[in-house]
Structure 1
Amino acid sequence: MQPEQAVAADTVIDTALAELAAGEQKWSRLPLAGRRALLDRMRTLTGRHAREWVEAAVRIKGLDPASPLVGEEWLSGPYAFATSLTAVSRTLESLERGVSPLANATFGTAGGRVTVRALPAGLYDELLLSGFRAEVWLQRGVDAVTARAGAGLAQLDPARTHGIGAVLGAGNITSIAPLDTIYELIAHNRVVALKLNPVTDPLLPVFEKIFAPLIELGVVRVLTGGPEVGGQLVRHERVAHVHMTGSAVTHDAIVWGTGPEAAERKKAGTPLLDKPITSELGGVSPTIVLPGEWSTPDLEFQAEHIATQRLHNGGYNCVATQAVIVSADWPQKDAFLAALTAAVDRAPNRHAYYPGSDHRVAGARTSYPDARRLGRGGERLLVAGLDPDTDEALFTSEYFAPVLGIVELPGSGAGFARAAVDTANEKFTGTLGVNIVAHPDTVAALGTEFDTMIERLRYGTVAVNAWTAVGYLTPTASWGAYPGHTLDDVQSGIGVVHNAWLIDGIERTVVRGPFRPAPRSVLHGEWSLTPKPPWFVSNRTAARTGRLLTDFAADPRWTRLPAIFASALRG
């Protein structure tokens, strides 16, 4: 950055933070009803400008506007944001009435912990996500009475604000930065300076329109610029707290600095950053496939499922599956791997838009010269024969690109399940999300061993026969790393976001889905009416279904449901 540019950036940041300091006073005087009205207005604006949002995302990612892949941008963009605004607004309405957001929650127990059912949260969820469930697991020792009393976090005392929070937005999923901004504002009662990732700068005009109610009040400012601007922002004396989404490398550069001095600071435990920081940093996410007796349609569906977990958004997801753990002794292993290879190979082609993607894929090719090159241009890598006892690059480096590894472990039944959990916990960097794919008969046969498997997995979201991204899309679920990470060993980050009920003391979220899509699910005794989910990369009507779901999220009405169902069934 040239000196004159640095001066200009300083001026912009100083002005924004001065305005936020004044806005904080207004926010502290705004009652819960007023805050809720602002969120409701934003939800309306999200619906009004959703198409503009998606069109900007399509241009950023180089998608064909006519491709079904555009559905990813509807679902992971305005749809996710609108559903969250609705859920947070309802939380504020409860608090306004002096009622805990968890007053009517369904509590349970699992693994010696109290749980809160997050999905379904109402009849609409029962219909639109039939067969999907999610539970938030509370940390050990947090009981239902304590959870009800603590739900609401900083909004339990709305007049007590906590300064200015700096949010460094992500460059991949376009709802991350808006969602993190709302969480900082509501859960922590901080006014927000949001710095967009340069990849998403083209979204600035639409974000300014949607956030207009908060911008006009002076409680949100949206900034653009490169790493230098972000660095100036987070170190500004007016900023009280930092939240970021990105890589552990970026996190460490913010906290400790760069170069040899950073290593010395880290060793001495004297961070360069002089304020608290929370983060969501991704990692190497595994999918564990438990052996069972699967039909050919089961093999093909789950192969498409795992291909989606890797290739959604081109592989540029913090919770994209990077390693598949299978049993070497599973009689159907070869058939499954053949189906998975075919699914990865035939998935729609797309532009490698995220910076550094080609370089990271080239690095993987160097590390694994025998990897299979899949896709139209050979841009996807499938790496077989990975040894969990070797320090494999694929286990420790988040490629953030279409690279997928296969790990084979011996055994079957409970023995394989235990070995797979040990591998997932001990060999892979990060704790954001892990997936389990298991036939219902296998789950039943394992019994309590399967429950123990879930309990032992040290991940912030565990998904059974679903992708952990369903947890991301569930506003009342939590999203973040498994608790316990520290600044000097940050792994997948510190803290949680989303969490629309503002629950305190969260350990993880557990998501469950149907093993088969409808109608096969019903024919085989699973109560689920969900066809192939619209987030599958192979869904033919994903764009239309995503648009219809977004319209519904912005303005829920029963009359919108038939069109959604009709589109989903054709997917």
Structure 2
Amino acid sequence: MGVGTAGVEDRVDEAVLDRLLGELDAGAERWAVTPLPERAALLRRTHAAVAEHAEDWALTAARIKGLDPASPLVGEEWLSGPYAVLTAIDRLARTLDALAEGRSPLRDLAFHAAPGGRRAVDVMPLGAVEGLLLHGFRAEVWFPPGVTDQRAKLTAGLGALRVGESAGVGLVLGAGNITSIPPLDVLYGLVAENRAAVLKLNPVLADLAGPFEAAFAPLVDAGLLRVVQGGAAVGGFLAHRPLVRHVHITGSIVSHDAIVWGTGPEADQRRRAGTPLLDAPITSELGGASPIIVVPGEWTASELAFQAEHVATMRLHNGGYNCIAGQVLLLAADWPQREAFLDAVRGALAAAPPRPDWYPGSADRCAAAVRAYPGAERLGPDGDRLLIEVGDRDATAMERTEWFAPVLGVVDVPGTGQAFLDEAVRRANDGLVGTLGANVLIRPEDRAALGAGFGRAIAALRYGTIAINAWTGLGFLLAATPWGAFPGGTLQDAGSGIGVVHNALLVDGAERTVLHGPFRPFPASVLAGERALSPRPPWFVTARTAATTGRLLTGFAGGRAPWLLPAALASAFRG
């Protein structure tokens, strides 16, 4: 149900909004006493509704972003929209099944040692299908030092362990870029915290109100979700209503701080005094300038080309409008192949399929980047993709600004081998804004040569998700991996955010997610000794059959037909 309007008008109908909050508060009370099997059943009805309306969802998102319906880039809207939500709902329902039977969601998973006296649990692949779809990829969740396997198993479940306790109504301020973000945030609050939600859509995604209300009709009918529209005035009104007991925002640190402290000189005074305007607790995901650390080695021409496409994907996926986009390429100044790799990256950025600059303010942010670095290279069909070699200039603007646009910076780091990696980690921790995600590219042979030093370097990286020969965007896509900034954000200094979402195994107190992927695609991976049968991933901006693969995978995830899985795999290999 729409309240307020997208665009210029931002009308607050206080009576209507308060009525919706009352309905949700009653729904949260009912949900709190709902037995776990009935909760799982509601999730499965929601899964069926999402599957039924997945095409409308994905194609509406493609229209919002101005994509040519025939472009392979439409695959992004399938995979990062309904597919991500379908897999999350399925895994959340399975987690509730386990808890209803008295089993920890982590009971049958493998625990092992991680660097720095930590313990870790393997959370991907979960089952044969995920192992087939992402063959050669794996994910683990690290716990802070001192957390035992037994404690991790006993506490997994979060709000589902507290049947009878209602967390009331939460406000979800939806992101305007990736379309699965708002519903995934709603689902996590519902299952992990026993919280109903009023979802305020970002005006950029206003046209998704209809598809969302249809896809999540079971939750709406149960009084657990209301979808509203409007701008900052609607969001601000809701955030400060007495019935709203929690706020979650995915967006910018500016928006977060405006909600918490207000604006103007008074905001600074409140921050210094530690007296926020917001009474309710807030969690957040706020982005940053994510590093791509390239550990030097002797790469083949095909490895240079593949990893250049990987880097281009990290920057250009969704047009570059991702909080987890790779932004700062940390290269070894002494790497003999530095120029060859940069040439390959330059070519991959230029050759990626065209798309409009659809997110508001993109051109202005690119212009600001050019003012900061007048030597920026303009690449792509429209010259709107920027490659900036910082060189001996001040790197502050590149490292401390989240450009949220197709801007890729290159910063040189001295040394090779372990010395380079340690310095790159220091630069990523101390120089770059944010702690959401870091990417590391390294040949398996070079990783083996570093031995324990590599593990110590990964442990030293203070990021919520670390992807080794993968993109941290996969950590967002996976249902089981907790998604959020590295722990430590506060109201006064939220950084990349506070808390986590997704986390469909309902892990309590995770420190970080660590992803591992193959350095080479199949068949080069197998020929080089890697146990990985995955082709070029369908989320690559260079995947020619991504739209078909995304549609087929979404159909399979929605339970439409088992034959869609081999068809999706065949499409991925053709791409």
Q: Same fold (TM over 0.5)?
A: yes
Q: What secondary structure does 2:390 align onto?
A: strand
Q: Aligned partners of 2:113, 2:90: CA distance in 1, in Å?
A: 27
Partner amino acid, structure 2, of 1:183: Y
1:364 aligns with 2:391: no
Which residue number in structure 2 is paired with residue 257 of structure 1?
Answer: 262
Which residue number in structure 1 is paired with residue 572 of structure 2?
Answer: 568
Which residue number in structure 1 is paired with residue 68 of structure 2?
Answer: 64
2:321 maps to which of 297, 300, 316: 316
Q: What secondary structure does 1:393 align onto?
A: helix
**TM-fit CA distance, 1:558:** 4.2
Which residue number in structure 2 is paired with residue 242 of structure 1?
Answer: 247
1:485 maps to which of 470, 485, 489: 489
Aligned positions of 1:540-555 closer than 5 A:
540-555=544-559
Aligned positions of 1:12-161 closer than 5 A:
12-111=16-115, 112-161=117-166
The Cα RMSD (Å) is 1.3
Q: Deviations over 1:434-472 (max 9, x none)?
A: 000001111011111111111000000000000001111
Which residue number in structure 1 is paired with residue 422 of structure 2?
Answer: 418
Which residue number in structure 1 is paired with residue 238 of structure 2?
Answer: 233
1:503 aligns with 2:507: yes
Q: Aligned partners of 2:443, 2:510: CA distance in 1, in Å?
A: 29
Q: Aligned partners of 2:426, 2:12: CA distance in 1, in Å?
A: 52
Partner amino acid, structure 2, of 1:117: D
Q: Aligned partners of 1:512, 1:228: CA distance in 2, in Å?
A: 43
Q: What secondary structure does 1:267 align onto?
A: helix
Aligned positions of 1:505-520 closer than 5 A:
505-520=509-524
CA contact (8 A) 2:437 2:464 kept: yes
Q: Aligned partners of 2:98, 2:314: CA distance in 1, in Å?
A: 36
Of residues 38-47 and 421-430 in structure 1, the stretch that sits farther from structure 2 once superposed is 38-47
Identity of aligned residues (%): 55
Q: Aligned partners of 2:259, 2:399: CA distance in 1, in Å?
A: 24
Q: Normalized against structure 2, the TM-score is what?
A: 0.97
1:201 maps to which of 198, 206, 220: 206
Q: Aligned partners of 1:512, 1:266: CA distance in 2, in Å?
A: 40
**TM-fit CA distance, 1:391:** 5.3
Q: Aligned partners of 1:475, 1:114: CA distance in 2, in Å?
A: 21
Q: Aligned partners of 1:386, 1:245: CA distance in 2, in Å?
A: 33
**TM-fit CA distance, 1:21:** 1.5
**TM-fit CA distance, 1:387:** 4.9
Partner amino acid, structure 1, of 2:401: S
Partner amino acid, structure 2, of 1:102: L
CA contact (8 A) 2:12 2:234 kept: no
Q: Deviations over 1:36-84 (max 9, x none)?
A: 1111111111111111001110111000010000000000000000000
Q: What secondary structure does 1:406 align onto?
A: strand
Which residue number in structure 2 is paired with residue 470 of structure 1?
Answer: 474
CA contact (8 A) 1:278 1:494 kept: yes
Which residue number in structure 2 is paired with residue 270 of structure 1?
Answer: 275
Q: What secondary structure does 1:419 align onto?
A: helix
Q: What secondary structure does 2:172 align onto?
A: strand
Q: What secondary structure does 1:430 align onto?
A: coil
Q: What secondary structure does 2:563 align onto?
A: helix
**TM-fit CA distance, 1:195:** 0.8
**TM-fit CA distance, 1:125:** 1.1
Q: What secondary structure does 2:190 align onto?
A: helix
Partner amino acid, structure 2, of 1:419: E
CA contact (8 A) 2:220 2:226 kept: yes
Aligned positions of 1:351-390 closer than 5 A:
351-387=356-392, 390=394
Q: Aligned partners of 2:425, 2:204: CA distance in 1, in Å?
A: 36
Q: Normalized against structure 1, the TM-score is what?
A: 0.98
CA contact (8 A) 1:460 1:482 kept: yes
CA contact (8 A) 1:386 1:405 kept: no
Per the alignment, do residues 352 and 93 of structure 1 end up closer, same or farther by CA in structure 2, a change over 3 Å counting? same
CA contact (8 A) 2:11 2:234 kept: no
Across the two proteins, how many residue pairs are aligned to each other? 568
Q: Aligned partners of 2:29, 2:254: CA distance in 1, in Å?
A: 36
CA contact (8 A) 2:29 2:168 kept: no
Q: Aligned partners of 1:171, 1:6: CA distance in 2, in Å?
A: 16
Q: Aligned partners of 1:385, 1:310: CA distance in 2, in Å?
A: 17
Q: Aligned partners of 2:112, 2:405: CA distance in 1, in Å?
A: 38
**TM-fit CA distance, 1:561:** 2.2
Q: Aligned partners of 1:239, 1:281: CA distance in 2, in Å?
A: 21
CA contact (8 A) 2:111 2:119 kept: yes
CA contact (8 A) 1:53 1:206 kept: yes
Q: What secondary structure does 1:494 align onto?
A: coil
Per the alignment, do residues 55 and 6 of structure 1 end up closer, same or farther by CA in structure 2, a change over 3 Å counting? closer
Partner amino acid, structure 1, of 2:571: S
Q: Aligned partners of 1:548, 1:172: CA distance in 2, in Å?
A: 23
Q: Aligned partners of 2:10, 2:525: CA distance in 1, in Å?
A: 59
Partner amino acid, structure 2, of 1:65: P
Which residue number in structure 1 is paired with residue 221 of structure 2?
Answer: 216
CA contact (8 A) 2:172 2:197 kept: yes
Q: Aligned partners of 2:552, 2:310: CA distance in 1, in Å?
A: 22
Q: Give ranges in structure 1 of 5+ residues lacking alignment.
A: none
Q: Aligned partners of 1:331, 1:526: CA distance in 2, in Å?
A: 25
Per the alignment, do residues 385 and 96 of structure 1 end up closer, same or farther by CA in structure 2, a change over 3 Å counting? same
CA contact (8 A) 1:386 1:392 kept: no
Q: Aligned partners of 2:560, 2:438: CA distance in 1, in Å?
A: 32
Of residues 310-319 and 555-564 in structure 1, the stretch that sits farther from structure 2 once superposed is 555-564
1:453 aligns with 2:457: yes
Q: Aligned partners of 1:407, 1:130: CA distance in 2, in Å?
A: 33
Per the alignment, do residues 436 and 152 of structure 1 end up closer, same or farther by CA in structure 2, a change over 3 Å counting? same
Partner amino acid, structure 1, of 2:56: E
Q: Aligned partners of 2:301, 2:160: CA distance in 1, in Å?
A: 51
Q: Deviations over 1:389-426 (max 9, x none)?
A: x4521111100000000011111011001000000000
Per the alignment, do residues 163 and 557 of structure 1 end up closer, same or farther by CA in structure 2, a change over 3 Å counting? same
Partner amino acid, structure 1, of 2:275: T
Q: What secondary structure does 2:374 align onto?
A: coil
Q: Aligned partners of 1:37, 1:204: CA distance in 2, in Å?
A: 24
Of residues 552-561 and 15-24 in structure 1, the stretch that sits farther from structure 2 once superposed is 552-561
CA contact (8 A) 2:171 2:246 kept: yes
1:404 maps to which of 405, 408, 412: 408
Aligned positions of 1:341-360 closer than 5 A:
341-360=346-365
Partner amino acid, structure 2, of 1:349: P
Q: What secondary structure does 1:404 align onto?
A: strand
Partner amino acid, structure 1, of 2:528: H
Q: Aligned partners of 1:387, 1:289: CA distance in 2, in Å?
A: 19
Q: Deviations over 1:107-164 (max 9, x none)?
A: 1110111111111111111100000000011122111101111010011012111111
Partner amino acid, structure 2, of 1:63: L
**TM-fit CA distance, 1:166:** 0.7
Deviating runs (4+, > 6 A) in structure 1? none
CA contact (8 A) 1:387 1:407 kept: no
**TM-fit CA distance, 1:6:** 7.6
Q: Deviations over 1:333-362 (max 9, x none)?
A: 110000001111111111111111111011
Partner amino acid, structure 1, of 2:385: R
